[in-house]
Amino acid sequence: MAEPGNADQIAFWNGQVGEKWAGNHNQLDHAFAPLTASLLRHVGAQPGEAVIDVGCGCGDLTLALARSLGADGRVLAVDVSSPMLAQARARAALQTPGTIAPIEWVLEDASVYALPKAEFDVITSRFGVMFFADPVAAFTNLRRALKPGGRVVMLCWRPMDQNPWFSVPRASVLPLVPTPEPMPPGAPGPFGFADSDRVLSILTEAGFSDARAEKLDADLTLAQSPTGSDVDALAAATQFSVQTGPVGSLLREASEETIAAARVAIKAALRPHLGDGRVVLGAGCWIYTATAAELTPSR
Ligand SMILES: C[S@@+](CC[C@H](N)C(=O)[O-])C[C@H]1O[C@@H](n2cnc3c(N)ncnc32)[C@H](O)[C@@H]1O
């Protein structure tokens, strides 16, 4: 079952984009590693706890959680993307059984999926909660899965201009492609939860208490050459930008010539961020936290 308003996002994450994320998850997970480490510290998962990973994608956070929860813990990982979830399941199958928390992978729309009521200690997400057409309804549904006093801890992007890893390659390609439609503020998408006042209101309206937003900044390594070669690192970072994120979307309909020109433009834009065989750019995120209040019959 899916919320009809989420149909476009579900198609998006099951199309080319989902396939590309599934194919490039190693590079994405490597780039996001400092953010993931910080998110895990904020989650503070305790052995034996039960955790939901919303929009788990290819399962990098899910597996890290399952390791820290241990065999007595429990993870429910939910996502709408079939190719990404297939990748996540394949990675989980490589783990030694009995060493990590059991993971239940669910291919469903988290905003309406009938989660077990009041069974989980934590709901978390690495960039998987900004795509709901009706976020208040989605977080009301998610909250009901938390035990009273359970917590939500999620990582979301701040606005694009505070994310050079995203905006620098994107700006270099914009002159080469038709001008994209501006996204209305708060529309489902990577920057849908960039406005912290709005997100804190959503969480409060969905029945959470003590909603807070904390800034998290980090340097992301878009590519690193194992031999320390700047040439290789720049080529890999360019490929990463073309394959995923904003530039991937901008080039989805582009001709071979435009893609070739985009590669030249991206390389030039990323060169100032190159050194010691690595391409490094800044990222700006929010860590949102809130607590599930006691359940009342009406909520
Ligand atoms: C930006 S990706 C992040 C994936 C993963 N958490 C990571 O950090 O690599 C966003 C994820 O949210 C998922 N997603 C989008 N809408 C969803 C929904 N309504 N229910 C569950 N997952 C959803 C997408 O399929 C995708 O895997």
Is the distance from the beta carbon of residue 110 to the nearest atom of ligand 1 less than 6 Å?
A: yes
**Percent over 70 (pLDDT), the chain:** 98
Is the distance from the beta carbon of residue 124 to the nearest atom of ligand 1 less than 6 Å?
A: no
pLDDT band at 258 (very low <50, low <70, confident <90, very high): very high
The full DSSP string for the chain is ---GGGHHHHHHHHTHHHHHHHHTHHHHHHHHHHHHHHHHHHH-PPTT-EEEEET-TTSHHHHHHHHHH-TT-EEEEEES-HHHHHHHHHHHHTSPTTSS--EEEEES-TTT--PPTT-EEEEEEES-SS--SSHHHHHHHHHTTEEEEEEEEEEEE--GGG-HHHHHHHHHHGGGSPPPPPPPTT-SSTTTT--HHHHHHHHHHTTEEEEEEEEEEEEEEEEE-TT--HHHHHHHHHHHHHHSHHHHHHTTT--HHHHHHHHHHHHHHHGGGEETTEEEEEEEEEEEEEEEPPP-TT-
pTM of the model: 0.96
pLDDT band at 125 (very low <50, low <70, confident <90, very high): very high
Q: Is 70 exceeded by the pLDDT of residue 253?
A: yes
Looking at the CA of residue 36, tell me the nearest atom of ligand 1: 8
**Please, what are the domains in the chain?**
4-158+183-217+284-292 (3.40.50.150)
Q: What is the pLDDT of residue 67?
A: 96
Q: What is the pLDDT of residue 1?
A: 82
Q: What is the pLDDT of residue 26?
A: 93
Question: Nearest residue CA, atom 13 of ligand 1?
Answer: 55
Is the distance from the beta carbon of residue 6 to the nearest atom of ligand 1 less than 6 Å?
A: yes
Whole-number Å distance, alpha carbon 79 to ligand 1 midpoint, is 6
Looking at the CA of residue 29, tell me the nearest atom of ligand 1: 9
pLDDT band at 252 (very low <50, low <70, confident <90, very high): confident
Mean pLDDT of 158-176: 97
Looking at the CA of residue 6, tell me the nearest atom of ligand 1: 19
Looking at the CA of residue 56, tell me the nearest atom of ligand 1: 6
Whole-number Å distance, alpha carbon 219 to ligand 1 midpoint, is 22
Q: Is 60 exceeded by the pLDDT of residue 299?
A: no
Q: Is 60 exceeded by the pLDDT of residue 296?
A: no
Whole-number Å distance, alpha carbon 261 to ligand 1 midpoint, is 30
Q: Is 80 exceeded by the pLDDT of residue 298?
A: no
Mean pLDDT of 120-146: 98
Q: Is 80 exceeded by the pLDDT of residue 99?
A: yes
The preferred substitution site among 9, 123, 249 for testing ligand 1, maximizing ligand atoms within 8 Å of CB, is 9
Mean pLDDT of 55-79: 97
Is the distance from the beta carbon of residue 138 to the nearest atom of ligand 1 less than 6 Å?
A: no
Q: Is 90 exceeded by the pLDDT of residue 209?
A: yes
